[in-house]
Amino acid sequence: MNFLAIDTTMDCIAIAISYGEKKITKLINEGKKRHNTILLSAIENLLTDNDIKLEDMDAFGVVVGPGSFTGIRVGVAVINAMSMALKKPIIGMTALELAKINYPDEDILSLIDCRYQNYYAAYFKGESVEYLALNQTELKDIPAKKVLIEKPDPNLLYLTMNKKISQKDFLKKAKPFYLKKSSAERENERKTSQK
């Protein structure tokens, strides 16, 4: 199955494309706080350089979170628009589940550092997964191999997309996945509670 998948949840952008026998992966490092201005041109350039048309895709994939609030929204909006325009299904993935593909038979705690000794986490135990927002102390109490994700990995994106396609884990529309409210929402709640 031909697909295009993106991860815009962190400072870098990961793109993975499967087209026939071709596997194309790219990590774009100049994305920090500029996803909305470079994502579409990066996708277009990658497709053009490989003589592929967007219409050739059978499915689209997007990492829905957790991570950068704005980055998540940009990625989800772009993939939803492509899916709607071309009437193709979507695969939604979390940034934390991408790491699991390297540890298929192990219990792991995949982590993203969200600053100030706080982490977004996914605890994979057997067949179950629990998504958590943890601090440094809580992190130490979980008895599993810890896997820190420092940047998107287009190869893991490619492999996870293939796995989810084989499981027929399709969506009509992707939705952002947040483990915490945005800083603006938290600030608004703080102001409201002080009234």
Q: How far apart, in whole angstroms, are the C-alpha atoms of residue 55 and residue 57?
A: 5
Q: Is the pLDDT of residue 90 over 80?
A: yes
φ, ψ of residue 97 to 5 degrees: the values are: -80, -15
Quick: pLDDT tens for 24-64. Answer: 999 998 756 788 889 999 999 999 999 999 999 999 999 99
What DSSP character marks residue 99? Answer: G
Per-residue confidence (pLDDT) for residue 59, from 0 to 100 = 98
Confirm if 97 and 156 have CB atoms less than 8 A apart.
no
Token pair for 139: 């992190």
With a CB cutoff of 8 Å and minimum separation 6, the contacts of 114 are 66, 120, 133, 180
For residue 98, which of 32, 185, 10, 29 has the smallest C-alpha distance?
Answer: 10
Quick: pLDDT tens for 127-157. Answer: 899 999 999 999 998 989 999 999 999 999 9
